[in-house]
């Protein structure tokens, strides 16, 4: 029991460090919570956490390892994930270019029409995480290196709960902080700049995934 507790603490620590590292998930929460508000940020956080829960479940059951070891399946996942992230980036940069000369108030009114639906916010969070091939590789590595095959059923449930709850708590807290009254006004005044920065992150990550996948396929 003590060894399982130690294992879960180690798993939680590694996962927490990974969550705090800047990436597509982090950029998505920053971009959308700052622009659309706390409610949207929470739904995006929930979508991201469900994606992480599924990655964890697939890794725990061996599904992700099977996908990673099957060249065609893994290529399809990487192409889909890279294309989705690239689309997010191009959309954000396109919005910045289209509204760079407008007043902040006008831009704010128009953009609030985008993710006002909870389902749309949840879906964007979920798709961003579940289609990220780097997340698939991370969780396969995490479970293969830290979680033994003979871990008890209770231990496996505990691992899944820890990974999901940490993810949701982190992104929800991030959305909460970003939408405090003092910070919200400052972020909204720099909304287009944030869109541009997050757009560049999505383009670089998504484009990098597509480029490496295509080069490996051609090689």
pLDDT digits (tens, 9 = 90+) for 28-56: 998 888 778 888 999 999 999 999 999 99
Angle value at C-alpha 154, between 151 and 157, nearest 5 degrees: 95
pLDDT value, residue 83: 92
Q: What is the pLDDT of residues 105-158, one digit of tens each?
A: 444 444 444 456 889 999 999 999 999 988 988 998 888 888 887 888 899 999
pLDDT value, residue 101: 63
Mean pLDDT of the chain: 84
Q: Which residues contact 59 (CB under 8 A, 6 or more apart)?
A: 65, 136, 139, 140, 142, 143, 144
Please compute the mean of the pLDDT values over residues 173-177 and round it to a whole number: 91
Distance CA 69, CA 169 (A): 32
Residue pair 52/170 in contact (Cβ under 8 Å)? The answer is: no
Distance CA 138, CA 136 (A): 5
Domain segments of the chain as ranges: 2-218
Higher model confidence: residue 3 or residue 19? 19
Residue pair 144/65 in contact (Cβ under 8 Å)? The answer is: yes
């Amino acid at each position: 029991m003590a060894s399982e507790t130690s294992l879960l603490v180690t798993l939680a620590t590694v996962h927490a460090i990974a969550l705090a590292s800047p990436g597509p998930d982090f950029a998505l929460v920053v971009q959308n919570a700052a622009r659309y508000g706390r409610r949207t940020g929470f739904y995006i956080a929930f979508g991201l956490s469900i994606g992480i829960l599924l990655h964890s479940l697939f890794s725990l059951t061996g599904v992700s390892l099977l996908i990673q070891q099957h060249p065609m399946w893994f290529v399809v996942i990487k192409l889909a994930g890279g294309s989705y992230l690239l689309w997010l980036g191009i959309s954000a940069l396109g919005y910045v270019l289209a509204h760079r000369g407008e007043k902040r108030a006008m831009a704010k009114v128009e953009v609030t029409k985008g993710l006002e639906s909870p389902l749309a916010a949840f879906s964007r969070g979920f798709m961003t995480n579940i289609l990220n091939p780097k997340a698939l590789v991370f969780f396969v590595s995490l479970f293969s290196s830290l979680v033994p095959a003979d871990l008890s059923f209770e231990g496996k449930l505990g691992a899944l709960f820890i990974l999901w709850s940490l993810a949701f708590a982190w992104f929800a807290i991030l959305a909460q902080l970003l939408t405090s009254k003092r910070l919200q006004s400052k972020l909204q005044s720099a909304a287009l700049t944030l869109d541009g920065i997050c757009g560049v992150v999505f383009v670089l990550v998504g484009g990098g995934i597509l480029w490496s996948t295509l080069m490996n396929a051609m090689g």
